[in-house]
Amino acid sequence: MSANLIDGKKISESIREEILAEVQRLSEKGIRPGLVVILVGDDPASQVYVRNKAKTCEKLGYHSEVMRLPAETGEAELLTVIERYNADPAFHGILVQFPLPKHIREKAVIDAISVDKDVDGFHPVSVGNLVIGDDALLPCTPSGVIELLKRSGVSPAGKHAVVIGRSNLVGKPLAMLLLRENATVTVCHSRTANLPEMARQADILVAAVGVPNMVKRDWVKPGAVVIDVGINRLPDGKLCGDVDFGEAAPVAGAITPVPGGVGPMTITMLMANTLKACKLAHG
């Protein structure tokens, strides 16, 4: 058996086409989704991510702004900037790019963003809404994984989903979303006993740990759907996931590649969240 490839690039493009059509409909009513991305300091990886977000906004016809602040910006000053965008009706989404310089508390920043504009889905109220099952702004990478599954014809309902990783960014919210989709969910982590055996129970196996090529052939139940959230850079500069693709692909029923799997979905879901926030703001 050889796995079907889940093409995140293609799925992401078809979602972007749907978004573009919606943006065109809104523009007839004089409404334009707006996103501000705030970048503090000059972390090189963040510069690339922020540029990509701005480019995607432009392609989809969003109003967008990149607010670049010097690394020395104080926490209070950043919170004042956030307050200004909270009050600005031209922006429906606010994203503060992480990591932040050490002297700024990420928690204070997350708490300051208006829940209505929390397109990252990191605010405690957004997390609460996610757990309760309210139709909130959902964190981008986890909701991207759900979209990948659904649009590949994989229904999580009644399946055993095993999520390896318990981060606030991916593992925990994804476990909640899979539960909302009626999967039976197991969350594994660095202290889980006999991880390969746990992984082997999965109908849907998600790896989100940041350990290159960790998931091997004998971790995968034959026919399982394998979703690789990891993006790791090897010493030779190549990208690889948390799943050893060469080992897992012959056993899995379907699998995401790295790159070109979950990665392209994250910005797309950010755009979808901004559109959703815009529509909510305009009733």
Cβ proximity of 116 and 277 under 8 Å: yes
> Does 165 appear as a known binding residue?
yes
Cα 50 to Cα 118: distance, rounded to the nearest angstrom: 17
181 lines the binding site for ligand GUN (CB under 6 A) = no
User: What DSSP assignment string belongs to 238-253?
Assistant: -EE-SB-HHHHTTT-S
47: its two tokens: 């510069």
Least separation in angstroms between CB 61 and ligand GUN: 22
Tokens 């900037």: give the residue.
81
Tokens 């999580």: give the residue.
156
* One-letter identity of residue 22: E
Sheet containing strand 63-69, edge to edge, reads 63-69, 34-40, 93-96
Listed ranges 23-31, 94-102, 127-135, 220-228: which one lies at the site for ligand GUN (CB under 6 A): 94-102
Nearer to ligand GUN, 97 or 268 (CB): 97
**Secondary structure (3-state) at 69:** strand
- Pick the catalytic residue from 117, 118, 120, 203: 120
109 lines the binding site for ligand GUN (CB under 6 A) = no
For the window 134-173, what string marks contact with ligand GUN as x by the rule CB under 6 A?
Answer: ------x---------------------------------
96 lines the binding site for ligand GUN (CB under 6 A) = yes
Active-site residue flag, 47: no
Helix axes 8-27 and 140-151, enclosed angle (nearest 10): 110
Active-site residue flag, 53: yes
> Does 204 appear as a known binding residue?
no
* Near ligand GUN in 115-134, by CB under 6 A: 120
Find the length of the chain: 283
Least separation in angstroms between CB 262 and ligand GUN: 12
Listed ranges 52-60, 71-79, 90-98, 173-181: which one lies at the site for ligand GUN (CB under 6 A): 90-98
Nearer to ligand GUN, 168 or 182 (CB): 168
Cα 140 to Cα 152: distance, rounded to the nearest angstrom: 18
Least separation in angstroms between CB 15 and ligand GUN: 17
97 lines the binding site for ligand GUN (CB under 6 A) = yes
DSSP state of 61: T
Cα 241 to Cα 283: distance, rounded to the nearest angstrom: 41
> Does 32 appear as a known binding residue?
no
Name the residues annotated as catalytic: 53, 97, 120
* Binding-site residue ranges for NADP(+): 165-167, 231
